[in-house]
Amino acid sequence: MIVYLDGENVVHQLMDVLRRTGRLKSREDLLNVNLVELIKQLVGARELKVKYYTTTLSVAKNDEELEKRSQEMIAWTALWTNHLMDQGIEIIKAGKLRVQDGHVCKNCGFREPIFREKGVDVRLAVDLVVDSETDKTLVIWSSDADLVPAVEVVKGRGARVKILAPADSLTWGLARQAGEWQTYQDGQLIKIFDKVKKENQPDGDQA
């Protein structure tokens, strides 16, 4: 089994749930999360391979605030990907994180720049097709409708594809194309998170 993670989106989902339930005080607390064990519990598999898709980011030089933000993001990404690699997760840098204009403030007219992913879905789709030659059980933790054509090809090759997504953001077109999907509520994710955290605590650590 191979599990494909749309990296930035999965991390944001986890952070949102953990923050709202008081289990995450800062972003650095994510470095205590055993993502592989969490995924195993979530999909009910003892053995699996995890591919984490992320982007590359260059320092923005044309704006002082953007330069600071991009430097912070680069530093954090290095810490986070090293943490994932220590767990045996394959890191795949695909595409770039680009600066784009955000929404205009209705009150002052200011348009704050934002960072957007470009290219992750293309690389993930290519890997799905290539991997389906040798592995016939593929799980995609993503709600990106752009993956529908790749899933169609993979299914045509006889692979089993399952979509994994939060209950409130499942893309039905993608799910129907795969033919299998698994959704989870916040409570289910938290229950698994707490179980994995307890199992990975050193003996005698009751914190």
**Cα 116 to Cα 194: distance, rounded to the nearest angstrom:** 31
Here the tokens at position 133 are 């030659």
43 domain-assigned: yes
Does pLDDT of 40 surpass 90?
A: yes
207 domain-assigned: no
More confident residue, 108 or 145: 145
44 domain-assigned: yes
Share of the chain above pLDDT 70, in %: 82
204 domain-assigned: no
106 domain-assigned: yes
Does pLDDT of 119 surpass 80?
A: no
Average pLDDT over residues 180-191: 92
206 domain-assigned: no
Q: How many domains does the chain have?
A: 1
Structural domain boundaries, residue 188: 2-199
pLDDT at 128: 95
pLDDT at 206: 47
Domain at 16, CATH number: 3.40.50.1010
Average pLDDT for the chain: 83
Q: Which of 88-97, 99-108, 143-152 has the highest mean pLDDT?
A: 143-152
Does pLDDT of 34 surpass 70?
A: yes
pLDDT at 202: 64
205 domain-assigned: no
pLDDT digit string, tens, across residues 47-94: 999 999 988 776 666 667 777 777 887 888 889 999 999 999 999 988
Closest CA to 53 of 87, 9, 13, 12: 9
* CA 7 distance to own-chain centroid: 3
Candidate from 19-33, 42-56, 165-179 with smallest mean pLDDT: 19-33
**Cα 3 to Cα 161: distance, rounded to the nearest angstrom:** 10
11 domain-assigned: yes
